[in-house]
Amino acid sequence: MKPRYDLAVIGAGPAGVAGALTASFAGLDVVLIDAAPRPGGQYFRHLPQGFNAQAPGALHHGLDGFTRQWETLRARADVLLGHKVWAVERAEGTVTVRCLEGDREERPRTVTARGLLIATGAHDRPLPFPGWDLPGVLTAGGAQALLKGNLVVAGRKVVVAGTGPFLLPVAAGLAGAGADVRGVYEANGRLGLARHPLLAAGKAGEALGYGATLARHRVPYRGRHAVIAAHGEDALTHVTVARLDSAWRPVSTRTVECDTLAYGYGFVPQLELPVQLGCATRADADGSPVVTVDGGLRTSVPGVYAAGESTGVGGAVLAEVEGRIAGRSAAADLGRRVPPLPRLSRRRERLAAFAKALLEAYPVRPGWQGWLRDDTLVCRCEEVPLSAVREAQDLGATDARSVKLLARPGMGWCQGRMCGYAVACLAGEDPAAPRRPIAQPIRLGDLAAPTRSPLEG
Amino acid sequence: MPDVVVIGAGVVGAACAYYAARAGLDVVVVDRGPVAGGTTGAGEGNVLVSDKEPGPELDLALLSNGLWRELAEFDGFEFEPKGGLVVAETGEVLEALTGLAGKQGVEHTVVPSGGLDDYEPHLAQGFAGGVFYPQDAQVQPMLAAARLIRRGADRFGRGTLMLRTGVTVTGFLRDGDRIGGVTTDHGDILAGAVVNAAGTWGGEVAAMAGVHVPVLPRRGFILVTEPFDEPLIRHKVYTAAYVTNVASDSEGLETSAVVEGTPSGPVLIGASRERVGFDRTVSVPVLERLARQAVELFPALADRRAIRAYCGFRPYCPDHLPVIGEDPRAPGLHHACGHEGAGIGLAPATGHLIAQTLAGHRPDLDLTPFRPDRFEERR
Amino acid sequence: MNQPYDLVRARPEPEFEISVDGAPVPVIPGQTIGAALHGAGIRSWRTTRIGARPRGLFCGIGVCFDCLVTVNGSPSLRACLTEARPGDRVSTGARAGQDGPGGRPGDGGGHGTDGGKTVNGR
Ligand SMILES: Cc1cc2nc3c(=O)[nH]c(=O)nc-3n(C[C@H](O)[C@H](O)[C@H](O)COP(=O)(O)OP(=O)(O)OC[C@H]3O[C@@H](n4cnc5c(N)ncnc54)[C@H](O)[C@@H]3O)c2cc1C
Ligand SMILES: Cc1cc2nc3c(=O)[nH]c(=O)nc-3n(C[C@H](O)[C@H](O)[C@H](O)COP(=O)(O)OP(=O)(O)OC[C@H]3O[C@@H](n4cnc5c(N)ncnc54)[C@H](O)[C@@H]3O)c2cc1C
Ligand code: FES
């Protein structure tokens, strides 16, 4: 451990690892920090050693490339896994990263660096609907994480629903791992696998692979369909699937028996750390706040860079390219000689244009609000039903923040990560960049004690 | 044409509107944002009499305390008459504290060291004693503001009390020398009188009328814990250092945590005081100090998590008193702002007194200490 | 057949046990407490403060906080992030959802074609 690094990188997904490695090759002293016990982020989530998996690549495309980068990085840079970052500060050209080490003991640790690359990725964007808090209802990413990180198949009879190309790998993964996938319900138009946008990005092989897997397992893939209610006493037993019109209003419904629903309506970039630092944000094509960056992935705050999903949801390949560009910028800004690489920027532009097209092809349409009943929970943590949100609005809460102040959605454990998008929609606005001075819960005892650097053991 | 336009739908504006409507006046409340979106949405909800030196602010607090109890019948804003416990670290401090309590003339009980347990079973050992103030209470300030406006409208007629959100006041209309309404980004509103309840922005609003009212921001952070299933803390609890902090003139950081449970489950730990303008940047050292003080009071908190922190900007005037009353420099303009860290507690009394002056009655309290033009001589 | 294991050609180390409200649950070294529970067919292990609703895994990656458990007396840990250790005593403070459909530990309900016990027992 060093008292001060040139660059701290938060996030060991494709963006962070590529960024850290590139910066290290360019001569910077780099430290990489991630909350997870293993590298990979969401896409390259690794299995624990305990499985002795001989063919881990079966669960990911391109794992070998990532693994090579990771092994190289480990030999060149310091890596702090199992470190949750709860706050970042910047003063006089030094960034202070405050972490909690360990998944249960949680020792406070402080890392300092001259520059910071934020590559904290995204989480699923669920929409509320009646029964969404029944056990057995999971986010699509959650089902994927169970499989990739624990070799646990999320359920026996599974329905996959929501919107976006991500539903395909999730369904294919579940089917390939032995689940009976009862159907994939895409709320937007089914573009047809042959015309699937993934093809345009030169990911034809990947998309066709998912398609083939689904076809082999005879999994129906329906466009303009959604799960609009989940049923069961203490756990999920069946869902109501609706055919939708173009605004997502239900046209007709039927029941599908299942013990598990894996669903998601896109992703929410995790922005608490850049917001803490005062980085400017903008609304992405889907209205989600993302970090504003220049062509070199510099944020509005000097010495702070962002890459991957934090700058806009675009998948693992774009994340890696952005990481590389950000690593180069960080090195250049600290005076290292970095020859220009216009090819990389052009590649990023192509991939970003494609990501934007995807966001536009799979929007969230307003009709979902009609799926809610008065007693449907909008906020899971504080158990706030739709009626309470409406009452707050009637009292004069005209934006998402004042709805939260009056009715408490977003005040609980998850701090609006799960309901924030929905509450913003219900309030009639784009979601605002999250202000969360505490990015990870921290024990008061740990907050009270003076934090130590890893140097001090 | 309404009799009164109230600028600001925070807790103070809400109280002014409620009492004015009760006095038979037609009221329009305008706010550039939503209801309770200003400092009221960043406050803690203490309704305290315990922390005030004898004097005009304490008189205001006592009047307000009684009014909160009356308003509590409306329900729906988590009014809790739970009482406050001020603890002293040393015998010397305890003596000073009991001395103050005696001078305040407020209901209180001196609690010896051994008696603290009965009030707060989880309180740390080793305090010299404390003073319990049964009148200290708590409200959920955002709901209080919203419900006061709603109850006023329900009770006195929707034509009598109207809330208009998303309307920014941009200037004043004059009727000769008198203020006769406001200009807004949504058109002019003529009115018999205008109440400036713009909180921390009250100075800006006053300036639009050409008068000087120095209201400045004093930043405060509050830490919020994970929700508790069973309440750990029964009253508002703070150390005697709080009283000196509140009255302090220091620019620098001061913290003296008031720790309390809430009906919704979390424990609130607040709040710090610093003068840093409108800077929202997180200050980790401030959060650390709040946490330290909370754990010193309640060691059991050490193992529980902070999940949230937020900050707001108290509206303060150089002499730490609010500005309440009609402005002789701009007749027709009444100020109700600058309540610093006590605006929630002091809101009903402020509203009540403003309504009395609006209706041409003699106010129940002498408003001289709160005069809007009291800063002129110091300029 | 244990398809996910075959897929990656896993040769898992011997499993160990943790206890969940007294009942044993098998774990492959490295699995999280949440994954082990879910894999064993236990779908919920907490009830909410207000409506006493059953909750288990939702986001699976530490952002929703639905999966909170107390481990060896340490409260409010996210089961989906907390790696299980041999002998861990997990208490849920509520009914462990064992009476829900497919909710008996070890019966493999809701675990795909490969029951939790069987898989982990390889
Ligand atoms: C649950 C989930 C599963 C997904 N699965 C797939 C998939 O199977 N296929 C696919 O194509 N795409 C998947 N995605 C989409 C995924 O976002 C991108 O493919 C890709 O992983 C983005 O790369 P990234 O480097 O930007 O971020 P990520 O890969 O998300 O990496 C971000 C890293 O930052 C770390 N981090 C975040 N906040 C903190 C903090 N405060 N302190 C410390 N560390 C922190 C995280 O632990 C994580 O390792 C998934 C997304 C989610 C949310
Ligand atoms: C951290 C913290 C803790 C606190 N704790 C307590 C406590 O425990 N007890 C207590 O009594 N007090 C507390 N306070 C103080 C209390 O919050 C304030 O004194 C009180 O909320 C002020 O209320 P207000 O209605 O005057 O102002 P605000 O709530 O700020 O309302 C003013 C309104 O005016 C509006 N406005 C401004 N300019 C215009 C314009 N040009 N046109 C239209 N509208 C305009 C704003 O949008 C705003 O909504 C605390 C404050 C902070 C920051
Ligand atoms: S399942 Fe969401 S935090 Fe664990």
**CA-based radius of gyration for chain B:** 20
Q: How far apart are CA A297 and CA C108, in angstroms?
A: 47
Tally Cβ neighbours within 10 Å of residue C86: 10
C-beta separation of A330 from A7 below 8 A: yes
Instruction: Give the CA distances from residue B9 to residues A173, B24, B34, B189, in Å, rounded to whole numbers and listed in that order.
Output: 53, 19, 8, 16
pLDDT one-digit tens code per residue, A429-439: 999 999 999 99
Is the pLDDT at A200 greater than 60, yes or no? Answer: no
pLDDT at B240: 84
φ/ψ (deg, to 5) at A219: -90, 120
Confidence of residue B22 (pLDDT cuts 50, 70, 90): very high
C-beta separation of A17 from A45 below 8 A: no
DSSP, collapsed to helix, strand or coil, labels residue A66 as helix
What residue ranges do the domains of chain B occupy?
A: 4-71+141-214+319-370, 81-134+216-316
Is the pLDDT at C108 greater than 70, yes or no? Answer: no
Residue nearest to atom 10 of ligand 1 (CA): A43
Write the single-letter amino acid at A421: Y
> In 3D, which of A266, A320, A263 has the Cα closest to residue A44?
A320
Give B50→chain C minimum CA distance, Å: 33
The DSSP annotation for A251-309 comes to EEEEEEE-SEEEEES-EEE--HHHHHHT--EEE-TTS-EEE---TT-B-SSTTEEE-GG
Subunits next to A (3 or more Cβ pairs <8 Å) are B, C
Topology, domain B81-134+216-316:
D-Amino Acid Oxidase; Chain A, domain 2 (3.30.9)
ipTM: 0.95
Q: Structure tokens of B12? A: 């103070």
C-beta separation of B306 from A438 below 8 A: yes
Rounded mean pLDDT, A409-421: 97
Q: Where does B4-71+141-214+319-370 sit in CATH, by number?
A: 3.50.50.60
- Tell me whether the omega of the peptide bond preceding residue B207 falls within 30 degrees of 0, making it cis: no
Q: Are residues A141 and A260 in the same domain?
A: yes
Q: How far apart are CA B83 and CA B61, in angstroms?
A: 14
Q: How many residues does chain C have?
A: 122
The DSSP annotation for B107-152 comes to --EEEEGGGHHHH-TTSPS---EEEEETT-EE--HHHHHHHHHHHH
C-beta separation of B42 from B12 below 8 A: no
Is the pLDDT at B313 greater than 90, yes or no? Answer: yes
pLDDT at B230: 85
Q: How far is the CA of A125 from the centre of ligand 3 (A)?
A: 14
Chain C residues within 8 A of B305 when measuring between CB atoms: 76
Q: Are residues A109 and A132 in the same domain?
A: no
- Total structural domains in chain A? 3
- A366 in a domain, yes or no? no
% of residues, chain A, pLDDT over 90: 88
Q: Are A138 and C53 within 8 A, CB to CB?
A: no
Q: How far apart are CA A56 and CA A52, in angstroms?
A: 9
User: B243 CB under 6 A from ligand 2?
Assistant: no
Is the pLDDT at C116 greater than 60, yes or no? Answer: no
Instruction: Give the domain-ending residue among A231, A265, A299.
Output: A265
Q: Structure tokens of B206? A: 């006053």
Q: How many CB pairs under 8 A join B and C?
A: 10
Is the pLDDT at C79 greater than 80, yes or no? Answer: yes
* Helical segments of B27-140, H only: 56-71, 91-104, 116-119
H or E stretch at A215: helix A204-216
Rounded mean pLDDT, B218-247: 86
Q: Are residues A244 and A132 in the same domain?
A: yes
Instruction: Give the CA distances from residue A70 to residues A18, A65, A148, A325, B51, in Å, rounded to whole numbers and listed in that order.
Output: 8, 9, 18, 17, 58
Q: How far apart are CA B146 and CA B165, in angstroms?
A: 12
pLDDT at A62: 87
pLDDT at C31: 96
* Helical segments of chain C, H only: 3-7, 33-39, 116-120
pLDDT at C118: 29
Crossing angle of helices A315-333/A14-25, nearest 10°?
30
Confidence of residue C113 (pLDDT cuts 50, 70, 90): very low
Q: Where are the beta strands (DSSP E) in B193-284?
A: 193-196, 216-225, 236-239, 254-261, 267-273
- A446 in a domain, yes or no? no
Ligand nearest to the CA of A308: 1
Rounded mean pLDDT, A69-76: 97
pLDDT at C122: 28
Q: How far apart are CA A392 and CA A382, in angstroms?
A: 15
Q: Structure tokens of A266? A: 């896109």
Q: Are residues A150 and A224 in the same domain?
A: yes
Give C48→chain B minimum CA distance, Å: 10
pLDDT at C95: 38
Q: How far apart are CA C30 and CA A447, in angstroms?
A: 29
Chain C residues within 8 A of A209 when measuring between CB atoms: none
A97 CB burial (10 A radius; 0-12, 13-18, 19+): buried
pLDDT at C115: 31
C85 CB burial (10 A radius; 0-12, 13-18, 19+): middle
pLDDT at B255: 65
Tell me the sheet residues that pair with B164: B30
Is the pLDDT at B262 greater than 60, yes or no? Answer: yes
**CA-based radius of gyration for chain C:** 14
Q: Are residues A119 and A24 in the same domain?
A: yes
Q: How far apart are CA B60 and CA A402, in angstroms?
A: 29
Instruction: Give the CA distances from residue A324 to residues A16, A20, A302, in Å, rounded to whole numbers and listed in that order.
Output: 9, 8, 18
User: To 10 degrees, the CA torsion angle through B169, B170, B175, B176?
Assistant: 140
Rounded mean pLDDT, B253-271: 85
The DSSP output letter for C100 is S
Residue A415, CA atoms < 13 Å, CB-side half-sphere: 22
Rounded mean pLDDT, B252-263: 80
The Cα diameter of chain A in Å comes to 64
C-beta separation of A273 from A284 below 8 A: no
Tell me the sheet residues that pair with A232: none
Q: Structure tokens of B205? A: 């609003």
C52: left (phi over 0), alpha (psi -120 to 50) or beta: left
Q: Are residues A259 and A276 in the same domain?
A: no
- A443 in a domain, yes or no? no
Q: Are strands B4-7 and B46-47 parallel, antiparallel or unpaired?
A: unpaired
Q: Is the dihedral of CA B358, B362, B364, B366 positive or negative?
A: positive
User: A41 CB under 6 A from ligand 1?
Assistant: yes
This prediction's pTM: 0.93
Q: How far apart are CA B322 and CA B57, in angstroms?
A: 8
pLDDT at A450: 65
pLDDT one-digit tens code per residue, A138-191: 999 999 999 999 999 999 999 999 999 999 999 999 999 999 999 999 999 876
Which tops the pLDDT comparison, B179 or B96? B179
Q: How far apart are CA A96 and CA B46, in angstroms?
A: 34
Rounded mean pLDDT, A401-414: 97
pLDDT one-digit tens code per residue, B155-195: 998 889 999 999 999 999 998 999 999 999 999 999 999 99
pLDDT at C1: 46
pLDDT at C107: 32
pLDDT at A226: 98
What's the CATH code of the domain at A311? 3.50.50.60
> In 3D, which of A118, A7, A5, A12 has the Cα closest to residue A74?
A12
Is the pLDDT at A452 greater than 60, yes or no? Answer: no
Q: Are residues A134 and A258 in the same domain?
A: yes
Tally Cβ neighbours within 10 Å of residue B48: 26
C-beta separation of C18 from C84 below 8 A: yes
Q: How far apart are CA C122 and CA C119, in angstroms?
A: 6
Q: Are residues A49 and A175 in the same domain?
A: no
pLDDT at A417: 98
C-beta separation of C45 from C117 below 8 A: no
Residue B225, CA atoms < 13 Å, CB-side half-sphere: 32
Residue nearest to atom 8 of ligand 1 (CA): A43
Is the pLDDT at C111 greater than 50, yes or no? Answer: no
Q: Which residues contact A274 (CB under 8 A, 6 or more apart)?
A: A118, A281, A291, A299, A301, A304, A306, A310
Chain C residues within 8 A of A232 when measuring between CB atoms: 100-101
% of residues, chain B, pLDDT over 90: 82
Mean of the per-residue pLDDT values of chain B: 93
User: To 10 degrees, the CA torsion angle through B28, B29, B31, B35?
Assistant: -130
> In 3D, which of C77, C72, C103 has the Cα closest to residue C89?
C72
User: What domains appear along chain C, each with residue ranges and CATH number?
Assistant: 10-91 (3.10.20.30)
Rounded mean pLDDT, B362-375: 97
Crossing angle of helices A63-76/A14-25, nearest 10°?
50
pLDDT at C93: 65
pLDDT at B275: 84
Mutate to test the pocket of ligand 2, among B275, B344, B354 (most ligand atoms within 8 A of CB): B344
The boundaries of the domain holding residue A158 are: 126-265
Q: Are residues A331 and A399 in the same domain?
A: no
Q: Are residues A156 and A251 in the same domain?
A: yes
Instruction: Give the domain-ending residue among A207, A231, A265.
Output: A265
> In 3D, which of C18, C46, C40, C33 has the Cα closest to residue C81?
C33
**For ligand 2, what atom is nearest to the CA of residue B208?**
41
pLDDT at A201: 57
Residues of A with CB under 8 A from a CB of B: 87, 89, 96, 98, 276, 278, 382, 392, 395-399, 401-402, 405-406, 408, 411-413, 415, 435-438, 441-445, 447-448, 450
pLDDT one-digit tens code per residue, A224-257: 999 999 999 999 999 999 999 999 999 999 999 9
pLDDT at A457: 39
Subunits next to C (3 or more Cβ pairs <8 Å) are A, B
pLDDT one-digit tens code per residue, B43-76: 899 999 998 989 999 999 999 999 999 999 888 9
Instruction: Give the domain-ending residue among A265, A281, A307.
Output: A265
Q: Are residues A323 and A292 in the same domain?
A: yes
Q: Are residues A152 and A259 in the same domain?
A: yes
pLDDT one-digit tens code per residue, C15-69: 999 999 999 999 999 999 999 999 999 999 999 999 999 999 999 999 999 999 9
Q: How far apart are CA C19 and CA C15, in angstroms?
A: 13
User: C10 CB under 6 A from ligand 3?
Assistant: no
pLDDT one-digit tens code per residue, C88-105: 999 986 433 333 333 333
pLDDT at A182: 97
Rounded mean pLDDT, B219-229: 93
Confidence of residue A202 (pLDDT cuts 50, 70, 90): low
The separation between CA A311 and the C-alpha centre of its own chain, rounded to angstroms, equals 12
Q: How far apart are CA C122 and CA C117, in angstroms?
A: 9
Q: Pick the residue from chain A with its C-alpha nearest to C103.
A: A235
Is the pLDDT at B273 greater than 90, yes or no? Answer: no
